[in-house]
Amino acid sequence: MVASPKCERSGTLIPTKAFVEGLEQNGNYETEYVYIDRLNVTPCRGCLSCWGRPDGSCFMKDDDVPMIRQKLIDSDIVIWSFPLFLFSIPGQMKVLMDRIVGMVHPYMGQKLDDPDYLNKPMHGLQFQKEGQKIILLSSCAWTDIDVVYEPIRKQFDIILGEGGYDLIVASQMRALHHRGGERRLNMLRDKFRKGGAELATTGALSKEIVDYMQKPLFSDAAYRELVVQFVTHMFDRDDNF
Ligand SMILES: Cc1cc2nc3c(=O)[nH]c(=O)nc-3n(C[C@H](O)[C@H](O)[C@H](O)COP(=O)(O)O)c2cc1C
Per-residue tens of pLDDT for the chain, all 241 residues: 999 999 999 999 999 999 999 999 999 999 999 999 999 999 999 999 999 999 999 999 999 999 999 999 999 999 999 999 999 999 999 999 999 999 998 888 877 677 666 666 667 899 889 999 999 999 999 999 999 999 999 999 889 988 899 999 999 998 888 888 899 999 999 999 999 999 999 999 999 999 999 999 999 999 998 888 878 876 666 665 5
Pocket test for ligand 1, best of 173, 174, 177 (most atoms within 8 A of CB): 174
Tell me how far apart the 2 most distant CA atoms of the chain are, in Å: 55
Pocket test for ligand 1, best of 37, 93, 140 (most atoms within 8 A of CB): 140
List the beta bridge partners of residue 136: 80, 167
Which residue's C-alpha comes closest to atom 23 of ligand 1?
83
Which ligand 1 atom lies nearest to the CA of residue 81? 26
d(CA 144, CA 132): 30
226: CATH:
3.40.50.360
- Residue 173: predicted pLDDT: 92
Q: How far is the CA of 113 from the centre of ligand 1 (A)?
A: 34
pTM of the model: 0.95
Q: Does residue 1 belong to any structural domain of this protein? A: no
**Chain centroid to CA 231:** 25
From 135, 208, 138, select the one nearest 173 (Cα to Cα): 138
For the Cβ of 171 lying below 6 angstroms from any atom of ligand 1, the answer is no
Q: Does residue 155 belong to any structural domain of this protein? A: yes
Domain limits for position 134: 7-236
- Residue 114: predicted pLDDT: 72
Q: How many domains does the chain have?
A: 1
Q: Does residue 241 belong to any structural domain of this protein? A: no
Q: Does residue 23 belong to any structural domain of this protein? A: yes
- Residue 110: predicted pLDDT: 73
Residue type, 116: D
Which residue's C-alpha comes closest to atom 4 of ligand 1?
85
Q: Does residue 103 belong to any structural domain of this protein? A: yes
